[in-house]
């Protein structure tokens, strides 16, 4: 009787989709999810096993993060850049709208040709002397930018700092005109 009823339900796509969703609520969890729980001791004198936690999500490499940040800048996608900026720097900018309005832009006759990562170090601690803040686990990078301005190509080496944040890295990209007279980053 039940099998006959189920065969009829399988013929209708909408009911099949509903049944699949409904049955998904009652199926077993994937085996990996069970590894998170502590197992009860088995036998006398045996201690409970420690929970096995899934590996921490891999962070995007600092160099990849910075390359993405510069690509967005070159493309004028400032709204997306905002989410990549550290909270301290966001506060210094005065908000998203101020950042979008005030961020230095590449001129019409300026083109970012290439960005190379020359060096990456992760420092246990780093103090930003300009902004009087100390950070932990800071990615310090030296980058070489190759730029074409009208008919002339030139290079610029620059040191940048990224700090860890939820879901990856955030850049310490401060506005150029600070009250302290400090430059950006």
**pLDDT value of residue 8:** 61
Q: Which DSSP letter does residue 85 get?
A: B
Helix axes 2-10, 13-24, angle to 10 degrees: 120
**C-alpha distances out from residue 69 to 79, 106, 111, 160, 169, Å:** 11, 14, 15, 12, 11
Per domain, the residue ranges of the chain are 1-55, 62-171
Longest dimension (CA), the chain: 82
Interval 112-121 mean pLDDT:
88
Give the tens place of pLDDT for each residue, 25-71.
Answer: 444 444 444 444 444 445 555 444 555 544 444 557 898 899 899 88
- Residue 173 CA to residue 120 CA, distance in Å, equals 17
Indicate if the pLDDT at residue 114 is higher than 60: yes
CATH number of 62-171: 3.10.450.100
pTM of the predicted model over 0.85: no
């Amino acid at each position: 009787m039940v099998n006959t009823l189920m065969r009829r339900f399988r013929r209708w796509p909408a009911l099949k989709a509903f049944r699949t969703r409904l049955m998904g609520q009652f199926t077993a969890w994937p085996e990996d999810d069970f590894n998170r729980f502590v197992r009860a001791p088995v036998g006398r004198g045996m201690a409970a096993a420690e929970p096995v936690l899934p590996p921490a999500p891999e962070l995007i490499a600092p160099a990849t993060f910075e390359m993405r940040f510069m690509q967005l800048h070159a493309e004028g996608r400032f709204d997306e850049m905002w989410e990549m900026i550290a909270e301290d720097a966001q506060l210094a900018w005065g908000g998203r709208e101020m950042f979008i309005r005030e961020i230095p832009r590449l001129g019409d006759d300026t083109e970012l040709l290439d960005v190379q990562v020359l060096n990456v170090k992760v420092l246990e601690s780093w103090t930003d002397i300009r902004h009087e803040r100390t950070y932990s686990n800071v990615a310090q990078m030296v980058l070489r930018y190759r730029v074409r301005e009208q008919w002339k190509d030139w290079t610029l080496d620059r040191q940048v700092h990224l700090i860890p944040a939820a879901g990856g890295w955030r850049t310490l990209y401060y506005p150029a005109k600070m009250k302290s007279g400090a430059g950006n980053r």
